[in-house]
Amino acid sequence: MFEALTERLEQTFKKLRGQGKLTERNMTEGLREVRLALLEADVNYKVAKEFIEGVERAAIGRKVLESVTPAQQLIKIVHDELVKVMGDEQVELRMAPTPPTIVMLVGLHGSGKTTTAGKLAKLFRSKGHSPILVAADVYRPAAIDQLRIVAEQVQSAFFSKNNGVSPISICRQAVELAKRDRYDVVILDTAGRLHIDEQLMAELKNIKDAVKPTEILFVADAMTGQDAVKAATMFHADLHLTGVILTKMDGDARGGAALSIRRTAGCPIKLIGVGEKLDALEPFYPARMATRILGMGDVVTLVEKAQRTIDEEETQRLEEKIRKQQFNLEDFVEQLRRLKSIGPLDQVVSMIPGMPRMKDVQPDERDLVRVEAMINSMTVKERRNPHLIDGSRRRRIALGSGTTVQEVNSLLKQFDQVKKMMKNFAKLGKMKNIRRGGLQFMG
């Protein structure tokens, strides 16, 4: 989502590299580029203005350490301001002191409320809770059936009523059922509209008054940019939202909603949807998102994802090989398989520091079969010592794998780039520094 913004910011910082110190002049020129980059990313004008002013206050007059370049210093300042704009700290979902916790999802048509309700139920189940999904949208055709199917997919309880029962009554009965049958989380999938109207808001207010929800979460499509921000602001004015869930964060939109919604609407982003699968819902961490926007990856999230799918002993073995620079083609293909199990490869790669800028190292899942075929066509000695693969060996590997010499060359080039990236990554500092934010090396 932030690819265009990341590239523009990198170009800006690149211009500052090599200059002796951070002066008011070169800093002002750099901030002009940053401001344009934010506006092009569909960030709210006032938010962009306040952001630049915050960076200026932090940068002007600040002494730059001898070991730090102007670009690095400005990156650190911009990172800190990005975190402030998006909300400083991660804000978790609240749980009711006495069950059930009632989560009311609101939003416009097409924002992904029903799918998000299922993702939320799956998230709660993974934490040991017993959620029940409630179909409170009695207007949209097939809305009840859609939520019922989603509930079956995530193995969650489901509650609905026949036509003619009001949404307020449905929600009230669902909460009573949850108390009786000990469901500790109630997720209300309310109706949306193509636009905000008095009837919609009146209904949502009545539901709120009837069941006293623990959380009122606005589900916003991140692809709609400032339209999502405006809608969130209006819903917040009437319902006093407790948070926002941004969907379709894996899309190719400009990302302005994620950077604007906290400051403009006044409520935190609590969760983000990062894919179509029902487990693709993640907590929103402002600091992690800031590092990704600045092209520095997101090691902490990557590690957390990996820990759910990769054996700890295997991880330690790989870490030892990287430290001793013994990473070979056998490890390369094995890690590609493991990365695929973590999530879509393009998303995973974007979390690795340095990788978003390495255009030749953007793995396509459709190419993984060819990569495995090429590596399987190598001898054990070649896999463990790639430098041995000369021209004649490359032709043999291509013939044996049904690929071309050019594809074998491309694979070896990618492998070399990954090894260089890992070597550079090791120089950035110890893992404990990365876990504290990954910016210590900037001073």
Per-residue pLDDT averaged across 373-385, rounded? Answer: 92
Q: How confident is the model at residue 250 (pLDDT cuts 50, 70, 90)?
A: confident
For domain 3-86, the question of CATH label 3.40.50.720 is answered with: no
User: What residue spans define the domains of the chain?
Assistant: 3-86, 101-284, 299-442
Q: Residue 238 forms beta bridges with which residues?
A: none
* For residues 409-423, average pLDDT: 82
Q: Fill in the amino acid letter for 248.
A: K
* Residue 233 CB coordination number (10 Å): 17
Q: Are 95 and 101 in contact (CB under 8 A)?
A: yes
Residue-wise over 56-91: b if at least 16 C-beta within 10 A, else e?
eebbeeeebeeebbbbbbbbbbbbbbbbbbbbeebb
Task: Give the residue-averaged pLDDT of 9-29.
Answer: 73
Whole-angstrom CA distances from 70 to 67, 79, 322, 439 are 10, 14, 31, 15
Distances (CA, A) of 91 to 188, 270, 286, 321, 422: 21, 6, 10, 37, 32
**Nearby residues of 312 by Cβ (< 8 Å), 6 or more positions away:** none
Highest mean pLDDT among 100-114, 339-353, 407-421: 100-114
| Rounded mean pLDDT, 123-152 | 94
**Interval 426-441 mean pLDDT:** 42
Q: Find the range with the poorest average confidence among 71-80, 93-102, 132-141, 419-428.
A: 419-428
Pick from 213-222, 226-235, 345-354, 366-375: least confident: 345-354
Round to whole Å and give the CA distance between 289 and 187: 27
User: pLDDT category, 316, cuts 50, 70, 90?
Assistant: low
> Mean pLDDT, to the nearest integer, of 57-66?
60
Looking at residue 439, its pLDDT comes to 37
161-218 per-position pLDDT tens digit: 977 899 999 999 999 999 999 999 999 999 987 777 888 899 999 999 999 999 999 9
The structure's pTM equals 0.70
**Single-letter amino acid, residue 43:** V
CB count within 10 Å of CB 311 equals 10
Mean pLDDT across the stretch 363-387? 83
pLDDT of residue 314: 64
**Cβ-contact 243, 116 below 8 angstroms:** no
What is the dotted CATH code of the domain comprising 299-442? 1.10.260.30
Listed residue (441, 414, 442) closest to 426, CA to CA: 441
Is 59 within 8 Å of 255 (Cβ atoms)?
no
Structure token digits, residue 80: 């800190």
Q: Is 101-284 assigned to CATH 3.30.70.420?
A: no
Question: CB-based contacts of 34: which residues, under 8 Å, 6+ apart?
Answer: 9, 12, 52, 55, 78
User: Which one is predicted more confidently, 401 or 338?
Assistant: 401
* Backbone torsions φ then ψ of 277, nearest 5 degrees: -65, 155
What integer pLDDT is reported at residue 239 of this predicted model?
Answer: 93
| Mean pLDDT computed over 407-420 | 86
Q: What is the mean pLDDT of residues 397-403?
A: 92
Q: Between the CA atoms of 255, 257, 260 and 264, what dihedral angle is there, to the nearest 10 degrees?
A: 170
Q: Is the pLDDT of residue 361 over 50?
A: no
User: Is the pLDDT at 60 greater than 70, yes or no?
Assistant: no
Task: Flag whether pLDDT at 258 surpasses 60.
Answer: yes
pLDDT of residue 204: 94
pLDDT at res. 430: 43
Task: Provide the pairing of β-strand 281-283 with 269-273.
Answer: antiparallel
Whose tokens are 């730090």? That residue is: 68
Q: What count of other Cβ atoms lies within 10 Å of the Cβ of residue 197?
A: 9
Q: Band the pLDDT of 358: cuts 50, 70, 90.
A: very low
Give 320: exposed, middle or buried? Use CB within 10 Å, 0-12, 13-18, 19+.
exposed
**Pair 148, 135: CB distance under 8 Å:** yes
* Count of CB atoms situated within 10 Å of the CB of 427: 7
CA 436: distance to chain centroid? 19
Q: What is the mean pLDDT of the chain?
A: 81
Q: Which positions ≥6 away from 30 have C-beta within 8 Å?
A: 12, 13, 15, 16, 70, 74
